[in-house]
Amino acid sequence: MTLSELKPGSLAIVKSVQLSRHGQGLAKRLEAMGIVPNRPIRVLRQAWFGGPLHIRVGSTTEIAIRRTEAQMVLIQTMEATN
């Protein structure tokens, strides 16, 4: 499952980041934002019409990423804990 498929409020663990046509540069950028293996991640909100995702990485870092970038992030879902 990819991050772009995760429903708002659901918690998951990052498994890996796939390389895309953007290459290593985008993967490094995601890593700099904290999207690394074994890190918890949660979708807070989804913009309408295929817009960006507002996500929380770890316990405090909140960022917005494009859905195409979210498709690169492979996750394993966990039970939501609010």
CATH class of this structure's domain 3-78: mainly beta
Local confidence pLDDT in tens for the 82 residues of the chain: 999 999 999 999 999 998 767 678 888 888 999 999 999 999 999 999 989 999 999 998 999 999 989 999 999 998 644 4
- Are residues 37 and 20 in contact, defined by beta-carbon separation less than 8 angstroms? no
How would you classify the pairing of strands 53-57 and 61-65? antiparallel
Q: Where does 4-81 show beta strands of DSSP type E?
A: 11-17, 40-46, 53-57, 61-65, 73-78
Structural domain spans, the chain: 3-78
How would you classify the pairing of strands 73-78 and 61-65? unpaired
> pLDDT at position 82, please?
46
Counting DSSP H helices and E strands in the chain, the numbers are 2, 5
